[in-house]
Amino acid sequence: MSRRTAVVTGASSGIGAATARALADEGYAVWCAARRTDRIEALAAEIGGTAVTCDVTSRESVAGLAAAIGDTLNVLVNNAGGAFGMEPVAEADPEDWRRMYEVNVLGLLNVTQALLPALRASGDGLIVNLGSTAGRIAYEGGAGYTAAKHGTQVVTETLRLELVGEPIRISEIAPGMVRTEEFSTIRFKGDRARADAVYAGVAEPLVAEDVADAVAWIATRPSHVNIDELVIKPRAQAAQHKVHRE
């Protein structure tokens, strides 16, 4: 039998890179998709996968990804996303909001549309969308990101309704506080002190591998088992606004 195949977007760092490694460990042939070619080429060489340079916000770029993958695909992990800025609504930069919507919602749409035929053709497809606890609650300074991640959640729910009866499962993983090398630094536009303050005093925030482990678990359930949504938070985080700090 040929190896099962998986695509991970945003695979150049963080949760995406960890997920590519976790799926490779489960025996998948992994397509590592991201904009930073050097990073995904190094990752693909490490795990025996294939690197495809792809910007999920560009339909032309995504079409190239679909062409590279070919006729069949078993797993799609829509991981590419991000948060930009944390200003209140009255002061927010509309361009930051536009970027967040483009990558977290329209990027997910572009990749899903392009790869859905290959997922159908496999006869046993799975789509895992990386959402966030921010897609379930509002908090000050987070309106642009929470709006985008609410969009991720609703697109996931709608897709499950629309594809019911087809051999494709639809899941969302919604992590809480995850410390990765880039997420908060990008959000605060390179301000390392503000990024570090997010995790100050938190003994054990989640790490990328924790979320990747959950993706691999979903991907290895029997094909009749659909994990609709999985919310994951560190023990220290009771809610978006309630975090134990030592």
For the question of residue 145 being annotated catalytic, the response is yes
Q: Are 61 and 113 in contact (CB under 8 A)?
A: no
Q: Are 91 and 79 in contact (CB under 8 A)?
A: no
Catalytic-labelled residue, pool 28, 101, 145, 199 = 145
d(CA 21, CA 144): 31
CA 118, 24, 181, 172 torsion-angle sign? positive
- On the 0-12 / 13-18 / 19+ scale of CB atoms within 10 A, 92 is middle
Q: Are 153 and 228 in contact (CB under 8 A)?
A: no
User: Which residues carry out catalysis?
Assistant: 145
